[in-house]
């Protein structure tokens, strides 16, 4: 086989070892499971929602990018759309460490939900950051969609314009909404991975 | 529900309205402020380099930013989070303003992410060219709306409408002593635009960049800043090596990488010397060490490449794996009494050229599909190799005289076509091409390498020319009477010649048997040899004269059984796997989780891990041009580094797991573990001796 070795030298780079990056988590692969308590003290696991779409939204209410989408009602709209029209589970996750920006008590979290008229299924308090790290969640807002079979279908930003101005929302592509449409129509999610933009999660 | 929804919409309307008002206020902006302006955690100011300006003469202004201690703002690529500063100028008609001359940033680790930005007082300068026709004594007003994010761990957005008014004067403007040092700071940090050739590739989960430099630069201590967001994981450190005139940068792609741009602007910074270069890499294949040296004259002219391919093709006729076929063909031509040589020559040429083009097309298609296959891959199947052993052996037996072919030749081409004539010549050409391809590589490797790097039509043309070269001598013999007349007349010598020609065929069979042995094991070879004996027996029995019905039936049954046995032998031999990887040599050991752990627990031991596979072309090349060189062996000994090699030729869950730890799902993977037990470092996927030696020295 020496000959092939010679042969390979010249061809090496054109063939390369074109292997896609093994991301953790990865689109098309089972999403990491979690077990985190919500503001009511109830524990939620991914496996509890088998058969249902699950949307994860990482948040930090003081982050200007989160404020951008809540002040304009964009996040709440998407929560309602997902839950009412797609029968999805919407989990808002807070991974800020105690003492860091965005960290809230269960009462404060519920108060934020009420005052912002948010509509999540539950708000998960991931104080340890374990769930956030399992999903490699980096910023707020950082969005994930998991299909009824527990397969990760979307990960990335809330929309396509990484600005901090609410007036930019109407012109941006709302990736989560698009992905939900694609999933409902039985299509491939057109933009399954997008750039998450926002504030660093304060693990 | 309805009620709640309605409340929600009203609430939402209110928030939207409220927001529109505040945003509107933001856009309408507070009245412009002059001088230093205080905002939460930052002081901003629009400043100029000179105290006055001249009509029509470019001058510089800049946004001075002074974040509080511990706070920072962002570069054009903010890194894993954050936003670059947005600057919106309002200037008199006819005024031109340049892009920001971004000073190079610093790496700002925030938690597990890294941002690119600036701490402390900094300046973002632009050049403004005012219209000509301003008169002395006039005031020139510059308005800037700046919008930024200032962050520590948390981020505070801010904006300001800044104004600077400068007097227009006739004389050369005096330098503003207050801002002199700031502009000097920005100039020191302005990367030099370098015109070096630079290419990048995003294969294998890595961003790999090569830059061909033309001057001496320090070889250590460089930082890499891509100017595009969302390409790399900014928190991962980039691996940067200097090797002669080539800088290689290698760094893992971002999890959120979705596609490569056509051009990737980036900045290389050497903080110790304050040297910085801005470059633009274009998306292209990278070059290996070997092709650099062979393609030194940069892009060889196409005609030259074709000439090289043609000469290479002619030389192929001398290759041991082509010669037997060729000898058969020469014999055919010598055998032809008709004057149809030209047509035969053309048919042979067509067979060769077409086969080369088809094989090249398959190769190019596989390349497009990302398959790691090399030229000669058709011989990677033990099935085909075994069948060729049989074929060459039978042909050899025929030439030796165990059986006769009748009046004409026994070329395999004829066997395939089942007839003499032009078809036979065509298929002889096809056969010549198939057996020639493995021989092609050593002599034409470089040309082929360049060919497959080229656009596919050019590559196909080169392969076609290569085929033409291979066919050329026979074509000439057939075409030019002068040549054909020199061919000896048919006669009794042909019998001797034919018998002599059997020996190259036996040798070819031996070579193929050796290939087969590498692909299977000793048992496989033994089985195949038994198959050969059975074939020989079948031929011998088949030629026995019949003496009665029973004997005749037995003869036929024997032939059938022998053929069946030969087939079964090939089938079972082809399924055998080669013995365990070649035994470890003195200078490397087989990788195992336990061995690596044991070495890592030893503070005295540094380790080099090489994850490879026989079918991974890049792996083999890297071993040949880098890892197996004397320089690397010496460095391994000198620096006392243990070299562990893992073979992923067949799936191995332990290696798969190990690859996954480095977020890879394929080989090659090269990792070095420092003596001190520090974090492992991943080497680039394209190795040179200098990269490996450099990495070993750093342990």
Structure token digits, residue A69:
């989408």
Give the integer Cα–Cα distance in Å for A90 and A123: 9
Of B8, B256, B686, the CB nearest to A13: B686
Give the integer Cα–Cα distance in Å for B303 and B315: 18
Tell me what pLDDT residue B311 has: 82
Give the integer Cα–Cα distance in Å for A122 and B268: 46
Q: Is the pLDDT of residue A78 over 90?
A: yes
The more confident residue out of A174 and B381 is A174
The more confident residue out of B378 and B617 is B617
How deeply is A134 buried, as exposed, middle or buried, from its count of CB atoms within 10 A (0-12, 13-18, 19+)?
middle
Q: Cβ separation of B376 and A23 shorter than 8 Å?
A: no
Tell me what pLDDT residue A14 has: 27
Which chain B residues touch A20 with a CB distance below 8 Å?
A: 205, 665
Torsion over CA of B272, B277, B282 and B284, rounded to 10 degrees? Answer: -40
Give the integer Cα–Cα distance in Å for B123 and B182: 6
Q: Is the pLDDT of residue A175 over 80?
A: yes
* Beta-bridge partner residues of B344: none
Q: Cβ separation of B449 and A76 shorter than 8 Å?
A: no
Tell me what pLDDT residue B186 has: 94
Q: Cβ separation of B370 and A22 shorter than 8 Å?
A: no
Give the integer Cα–Cα distance in Å for B232 and B695: 22
Q: Cβ separation of B291 and A62 shorter than 8 Å?
A: no
Range in B271-280, B408-417, B528-537 the model is least confident about: B408-417
B304 confidence band (pLDDT: 50, 70, 90): confident
Residues B59 and B48: beta-carbon distance below 8 Å = yes
| Mean confidence (pLDDT) of chain B | 77
B450 to chain A: nearest residue by CA?
A10
Task: Give the long-range contacts of residues B25-32, CB within 8 A, separation 24 or more.
Answer: B26/A165, B26/B159, B29/B145, B29/B161, B30/B161, B31/B161, B32/B143, B32/B161, B32/B162, B32/B163
Q: Cβ separation of A10 and B205 shorter than 8 Å?
A: no
Q: Classify B672 as helix, strand or coil.
A: strand
Q: Which of A1, A19, A13, A14 is nearest to B614 (CA)?
A: A1
Q: Cβ separation of B8 and A76 shorter than 8 Å?
A: yes
Tell me what pLDDT residue B331 has: 58
Quick: pLDDT tens for A79-113.
Answer: 999 999 999 999 999 999 988 889 999 999 999 99
Q: Cβ separation of B370 and A16 shorter than 8 Å?
A: yes
B133: left (phi over 0), alpha (psi -120 to 50) or beta: left
Q: Cβ separation of B663 and A23 shorter than 8 Å?
A: yes
Min distance A36 CA to chain B CA atoms (Å): 22
Min distance B83 CA to chain A CA atoms (Å): 7
Structure token digits, residue A49:
């929602």
Span between the terminal Cα atoms of chain B, in Å: 66
Q: Is the pLDDT of residue B626 over 80?
A: yes
Tell if the pTM clears 0.90, that is, is over it.
no
| Mean confidence (pLDDT) of chain A | 85
Q: Cβ separation of B380 and A4 shorter than 8 Å?
A: yes
Tell me what pLDDT residue B552 has: 83
Min distance A26 CA to chain B CA atoms (Å): 9
| Helix (H) or strand (E) segment spanning residue B141 | strand B139-151
Mean pLDDT of B99-125: 91
* Beta-bridge partner residues of B67: B42
Residues B325 and B513: beta-carbon distance below 8 Å = no
Given the DSSP bridges, would you call strands B275-283 and B192-193 parallel, antiparallel or unpaired?
Answer: parallel
Give the integer Cα–Cα distance in Å for B691 and B699: 13
Residues B460 and B398: beta-carbon distance below 8 Å = no
Ranges assigned E (strand) in chain A:
35-37, 43-45, 54-58, 89-94, 122-125, 139-140, 142-146, 152-156, 199-200
Q: Is the pLDDT of residue B51 over 90?
A: yes
B640 confidence band (pLDDT: 50, 70, 90): confident
Which chain B residues touch A80 with a CB distance below 8 Å?
A: 8
The more confident residue out of A95 and B663 is A95
Given the DSSP bridges, would you call strands B197-201 and B239-243 parallel, antiparallel or unpaired?
Answer: unpaired
- Proportion of chain B above pLDDT 70, given as a percent: 74
Of B288, B616, B664, the CB nearest to A13: B288
Task: Give the long-range contacts of residues B650-659, CB within 8 A, separation 24 or more.
Answer: B650/B577, B654/B592, B654/B593, B655/B591, B655/B611, B658/B591, B658/B593, B658/B611, B659/A22, B659/B611
Mean pLDDT of B421-449: 61
Give the integer Cα–Cα distance in Å for B566 and B387: 10
Give the integer Cα–Cα distance in Å for A59 and A96: 9
**Angle CA B300–B305–B308, to nearest 5:** 130
Min distance A101 CA to chain B CA atoms (Å): 7
In this prediction the ipTM stands at: 0.76
Quick: pLDDT tens for B239-263.
Answer: 787 766 778 888 888 888 888 888 9
Mean pLDDT of B519-546: 86
The crossing angle, in degrees rounded to 10, of helices B382-400 and B549-575 is 140
Q: Cβ separation of B445 and A18 shorter than 8 Å?
A: no
The helix, strand and coil proportions of chain B, stated in percent and rounded to the nearest 5, come to: 45, 25, 30
Q: Cβ separation of A14 and B285 shorter than 8 Å?
A: yes
Of A9, A77, A195, the CB nearest to B621: A9
Which chain B residues touch A15 with a CB distance below 8 Å?
A: 367, 370-374, 617-618
Q: Cβ separation of B371 and A199 shorter than 8 Å?
A: no
Which chain A residues touch B617 with a CB distance below 8 Å?
A: 8, 11-12, 15
Q: Is the pLDDT of residue B440 over 60?
A: no
Give the integer Cα–Cα distance in Å for B579 and A77: 63
Give the integer Cα–Cα distance in Å for B661 and B650: 19
Quick: pLDDT tens for B540-597.
Answer: 888 777 677 888 888 888 889 989 998 888 888 877 766 544 555 667 888 999 889 8
Of A6, A164, A201, the CB nearest to B83: A164
Q: What is the DSSP letter of B670?
A: E
Residues B451 and B285: beta-carbon distance below 8 Å = no
Q: Is the pLDDT of residue B213 over 50?
A: yes
Q: Is the pLDDT of residue A17 over 60?
A: no
Q: Cβ separation of A164 and B157 shorter than 8 Å?
A: yes
Min distance B512 CA to chain A CA atoms (Å): 10
Q: Which of B204, B292, B202, B283 is nearest to B247 (CA)?
A: B292
Tell me what pLDDT residue B23 has: 41
Which chain A residues touch B453 with a CB distance below 8 Å?
A: 13-14
| Helix (H) or strand (E) segment spanning residue B201 | strand B197-201
Q: Is the pLDDT of residue A154 over 90?
A: yes
How deeply is B16 buried, as exposed, middle or buried, from its count of CB atoms within 10 A (0-12, 13-18, 19+)?
middle
Which chain A residues touch B445 with a CB distance below 8 Å?
A: 6-7, 9-11
Q: Is the pLDDT of residue B224 over 50?
A: yes
Min distance B52 CA to chain A CA atoms (Å): 36
Q: Cβ separation of B667 and A17 shorter than 8 Å?
A: yes
Min distance A17 CA to chain B CA atoms (Å): 6
B400 confidence band (pLDDT: 50, 70, 90): confident
Min distance B232 CA to chain A CA atoms (Å): 11
Q: How far is CA B325 from the centre of its chain?
A: 36
Most B CBs within 10 Å, among A10, A99, A156, A160, to test the B interface:
A10
The more confident residue out of B185 and B408 is B185
The more confident residue out of B471 and A191 is A191
A135 to chain B: nearest residue by CA?
B255
Tell me what pLDDT residue B245 has: 76
Tell me what pLDDT residue B363 has: 66
A135 confidence band (pLDDT: 50, 70, 90): very high
Min distance B548 CA to chain A CA atoms (Å): 50
Give the integer Cα–Cα distance in Å for B395 and B505: 7
In DSSP notation, B601-621 reads T-TT-EEEEEEE-TT-HHHHH
Give the integer Cα–Cα distance in Å for B321 and B449: 21
In DSSP notation, B404-460 reads ---SS---HHHHHHTSSHHHHHHHHHHHHHHHHHHHHHHHHHHHHHHHHHS-HHHHH
Which chain A residues touch B625 with a CB distance below 8 Å?
A: 9
B328 confidence band (pLDDT: 50, 70, 90): low
Give the integer Cα–Cα distance in Å for B655 and B644: 12
Give the integer Cα–Cα distance in Å for B449 and B285: 12
Give the integer Cα–Cα distance in Å for B462 and B308: 9
Tell me what pLDDT residue B19 has: 40
Which residues, 6+ apart, have CB-to-CB distance to B650 below 8 Å? B577
Range from B126-130, B228-232, B678-682 that averages highest in pLDDT: B126-130
Mean pLDDT of B489-493: 60
Q: Cβ separation of B15 and A72 shorter than 8 Å?
A: yes
The more confident residue out of A202 and B413 is A202
Residues B616 and B672: beta-carbon distance below 8 Å = no
* Beta-bridge partner residues of B208: B201, B250
The more confident residue out of B454 and B471 is B471
Give the integer Cα–Cα distance in Å for B30 and B305: 67
Most A CBs within 10 Å, among B4, B5, B15, to test the A interface:
B15
| Secondary structure of B85-130 as H, E, C letters | CEEEEECCCCCEECCCCCCCCEEEEECCEEEEEEECCEEEEEEEEC
B617 confidence band (pLDDT: 50, 70, 90): low
Residue B541 φ then ψ, to 5°: -65, -40
Min distance A148 CA to chain B CA atoms (Å): 23
Min distance A132 CA to chain B CA atoms (Å): 12
A203 to chain B: nearest residue by CA?
B111
Give the integer Cα–Cα distance in Å for B695 and B674: 9
Q: Cβ separation of A63 and B258 shorter than 8 Å?
A: no
Count of H helices and E strands in chain A?
6, 9
Q: Is the pLDDT of residue B75 over 80?
A: yes
Range from A154-158, B329-333, B354-358, B608-612 that averages highest in pLDDT: A154-158
Range from B166-170, B329-333, B506-510 that averages highest in pLDDT: B166-170
The more confident residue out of B316 and B348 is B348
Residues B310 and B465: beta-carbon distance below 8 Å = yes
Which chain A residues touch B663 with a CB distance below 8 Å?
A: 21-24
Tell me what pLDDT residue B349 has: 85
Residues A126 and A50: beta-carbon distance below 8 Å = no
Q: Tell the residue number behind the tokens 């066919």, with chain if given.
A: B471
Q: Which of B156, B529, B103 is nearest to A101 (CA)?
A: B156
């Amino acid at each position: 086989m020496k000959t092939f070795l010679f042969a390979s030298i010249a061809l090496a780079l054109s063939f390369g070892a074109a292997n896609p990056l093994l991301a953790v988590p990865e689109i098309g692969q089972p999403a990491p499971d979690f077990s985190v308590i919500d503001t009511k003290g109830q524990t939620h696991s991914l496996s509890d929602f088998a058969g249902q779409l699950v949307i994860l939204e990482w948040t930090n209410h003081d982050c200007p990018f989160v404020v951008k989408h809540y002040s304009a009602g964009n996040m709440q709209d998407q929560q309602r759309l997902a839950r009412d029209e797609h029968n999805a589970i919407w989990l808002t996750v807070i991974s800020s460490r105690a003492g860091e920006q965005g960290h809230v008590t269960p009462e404060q979290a519920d108060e934020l939900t009420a005052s912002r008229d948010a509509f999540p299924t539950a708000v998960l308090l991931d104080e340890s950051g374990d769930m956030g790290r399992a999903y490699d969640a980096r910023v707020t807002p950082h969005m994930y969609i998991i299909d009824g079979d527990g397969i990760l279908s979307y990960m990335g930003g809330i929309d396509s314009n990484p600005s901090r101005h609410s007036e930019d929302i109407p012109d941006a592509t709302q990736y989560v909404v698009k992905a939900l449409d694609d999933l409902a129509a039985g299509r491939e999610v057109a933009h399954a991975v997008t750039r998450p933009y926002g504030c660093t999660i304060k693990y | 529900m309805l009620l709640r929804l309605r409340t929600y919409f009203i609430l939402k309307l209110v928030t939207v309205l409220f927001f529109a008002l505040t945003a509107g206020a933001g856009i309408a902006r507070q009245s412009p402020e002059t001088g230093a302006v205080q905002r939460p955690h930052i002081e901003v100011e629009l400043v100029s380099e000179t105290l006055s300006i001249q009509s029509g003469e470019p001058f510089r202004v800049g946004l001075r930013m002074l974040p509080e201690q511990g706070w920072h703002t962002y570069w054009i690529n903010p890194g894993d989070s954050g936003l670059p500063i947005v600057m919106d100028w309002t200037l008199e008609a006819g005024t031109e303003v340049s892009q920001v001359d971004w000073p190079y940033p610093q790496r700002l680790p925030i938690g597990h992410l890294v941002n690119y930005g600036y701490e402390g007082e900094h300046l973002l300068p632009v050049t403004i060219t005012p219209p000509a026709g301003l008169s002395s004594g006039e005031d020139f007003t510059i308005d800037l709306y700046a919008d930024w994010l200032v962050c520590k761990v948390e981020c505070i957005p801010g904006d300001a409408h800044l104004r600077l008014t400068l007097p227009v004067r006739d004389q050369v403007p005096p330098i503003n002593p207050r801002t002199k040092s700031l502009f000097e700071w920005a100039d020191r940090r302005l990367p030099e635009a370098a015109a070096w050739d630079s290419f990048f590739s995003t294969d294998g989960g890595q961003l790999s960049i090569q830059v061909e430099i033309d001057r001496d630069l320090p070889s250590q201590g460089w930082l890499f800043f891509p100017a595009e967001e969302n390409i790399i994981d900014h928190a991962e450190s980039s691996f940067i090596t200097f090797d002669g005139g080539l800088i290689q940068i290698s760094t893992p792609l971002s999890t959120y990488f979705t596609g490569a741009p056509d051009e990737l602007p980036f900045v290389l910074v050497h903080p110790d010397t304050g040297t910085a270069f801005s470059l633009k890499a274009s998306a292209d294949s990278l070059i290996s060490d070997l092709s650099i040296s062979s393609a030194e004259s940069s892009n060889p002219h196409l005609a030259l490449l074709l000439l090289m391919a043609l000469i290479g093709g002619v030389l192929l006729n001398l290759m041991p794996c082509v010669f037997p076929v060729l000898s058969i063909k020469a014999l055919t031509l010598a055998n032809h009494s008709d004057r149809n040589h030209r047509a035969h020559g053309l048919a042979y040429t067509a067979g060769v050229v077409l086969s080369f083009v088809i094989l090249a097309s398959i190769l190019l298609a596989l390349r497009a599909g990302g398959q790691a296959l090399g030229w000669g891959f058709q011989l990677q199947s033990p099935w085909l190799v075994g069948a060729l052993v049989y074929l060459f052996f039978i042909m050899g037996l025929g030439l030796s005289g165990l059986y006769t072919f009748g009046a004409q030749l026994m070329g395999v081409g004829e066997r395939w076509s089942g007839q003499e004539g032009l078809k036979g010549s065509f298929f002889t050409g096809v056969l010549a091409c198939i057996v020639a391809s493995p021989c092609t590589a050593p002599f034409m490797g470089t040309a082929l390498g360049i060919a497959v790097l080229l656009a596919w039509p050019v590559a196909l043309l080169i392969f076609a020319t290569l085929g033409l070269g291979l066919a050329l001598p026979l074509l000439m013999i057939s075409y030019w009477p002068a040549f054909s007349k020199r061919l000896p007349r048919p006669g009794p010598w042909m019998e001797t010649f034919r018998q002599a020609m059997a020996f190259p065929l036996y040798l070819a069979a031996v070579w193929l048997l050796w290939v087969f042995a590498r692909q299977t094991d000793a048992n496989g070879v033994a089985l195949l040899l038994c198959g050969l004996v059975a074939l020989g027996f079948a031929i011998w029995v088949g030629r026995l004269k019949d003496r009665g019905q029973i004997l005749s039936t037995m003869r036929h049954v024997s032939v059938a059984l022998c053929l069946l046995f030969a087939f079964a032998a090939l089938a079972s031999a082809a399924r055998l796997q080669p013995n365990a990887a070649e035994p470890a040599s003195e200078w490397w050991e087989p990788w195992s989780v336990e061995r690596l752990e044991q070495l890592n627990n030893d503070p005295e031991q540094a380790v080099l891990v090489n994850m490879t596979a026989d079918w991974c072309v890049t792996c083999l090349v890297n071993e040949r041009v880098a890892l197996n060189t004397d320089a690397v062996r010496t460095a391994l000994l000198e620096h006392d580094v243990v070299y562990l090699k893992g073979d992923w030729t067949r799936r191995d869950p332990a290696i798969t797991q190990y690859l996954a730890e480095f977020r890879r799902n394929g080989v090659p993977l090269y990792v070095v573990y420092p003596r001190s037990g520090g974090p492992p470092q991943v080497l680039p996927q394209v190795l040179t001796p200098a990269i490996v030696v450099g990495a070993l020295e750093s342990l």
